[in-house]
Amino acid sequence: MAKKKTTTTGSKQKAKSSKPKAESKKPKASRKQKSTTSKRSNIKRRRKSKKNQKKSLLWLYILLGMALLVGVGYFWGVQSTKQAYPIQQINSDDEILKELQSNKKKKSKVKSKQVKLKHHFQTEKKQKQMAEAKASLPKELKAKLVIIIDDVHTKSELNQIKSLPFSTTPSIFPPYRLAQDTPKLAKNLKHYMVHLPMESSTAKFNRQYKTILTSWNQHQIDSRIKSIREMFPNARYINNHTGSILTSNYHSMDMVYRALNKYGFRFIDSYTTSKSVVKKVSSKYHKRYLKRDIFIDNIQSVAYIKKQIKKGIKKAKTKGYSIIIGHPYKATLKVLRESKSILQEVDVIYMDELYK
């Protein structure tokens, strides 16, 4: 019986000892559950954090894009305003002083220009008033201007000269190979001259028919001037065509003057050389020395011809008269047609009206 108790007690102890073993298994299971739940929660947290990170990155990109757009817009706006309104950057006091000085200079230049313009307009106004006053002067008190057109040898040239709005004296060539009927041009003219070829330093000019040469004697010169008188019975004045060699030769010009006096001509020195002796010869025969003052068309441009005409007018005002010579060029005739207003200050007359 005693043995049975022990067995029962041993079994009880075994049962007791087995119970706590079963009880100890329960917390192990709960730890696994906890670990799984914690893992799940960690995964969820990670997913949430990734989502949040993605969202935050997206917002960051959006903000960066907006900032970039704003920056680009601002830069573009600044550049466009700089182009429209350029600003000079002044970095130092020296540059500020320089800028101020340059501004002062600019202002002074503007003021000086304004003063000059004012003075110019005042002088222009005075000049206009003077010109009007001089234009209103009677012809007797005005300076005299003689306009001679040399080398005339055709009817069309003569008609253009006659159509000019003031007195212009044509100087007609004697007959030569290219124009054999020139005396006919002068037939019904009251005011004209003869343009007589004389020896030049240029050989080709001396080929013209019956050019008076320094090698001629008195008889040859006399017969030439006599034929000129027969062809142009009403002519009073002769001027030289070229003639730089002959007009600088005292002996030849002396013979020419004798013939001119004999047949009733007066000589006008075209002054084709500064070595001309015509003044000396004319004083020997007690004749008034007349010479060309201005050639108006050595250069065939409108501006140059206008300038030369103005010089002739100025010359007339200083010495009482002047003689200007041109040629039947298109430019010369055009300028003369348009020069009526310029010539109001002087009395434009024919050559034979200067000394009657």
**pLDDT, tens only, 81-110:** 666 555 555 456 666 677 777 777 777 777
Q: Per the confidence metrics, is the pTM higher than 0.85?
A: no
Query: Where along the chain do its domains lie?
Result: 30-71, 139-353
The per-residue pLDDT for range 258-291, each reduced to its tens digit, is 999 999 999 999 999 999 999 999 999 999 999 9
- Inter-residue contact 221 to 201 (CB < 8 Å): no
Whether 168 and 149 have beta carbons less than 8 Å apart is answered as: yes
Task: Please give the pLDDT value at position 140.
Answer: 65
Which residues does the chain have with pLDDT short of 50?
1-9, 11-26, 28-29, 90
Task: Say if strands 143-152 and 346-349 run parallel, antiparallel, or are unpaired.
Answer: parallel
Computed from CA positions of residues 305, 306, 311, 317, in that sequence, does the dihedral angle turn out positive or negative? Answer: positive
How many angstroms separate the CA atoms of 159 and 337, rounded?
13
Assign domain 139-353 to its CATH superfamily.
Glycoside hydrolase/deacetylase (3.20.20.370)
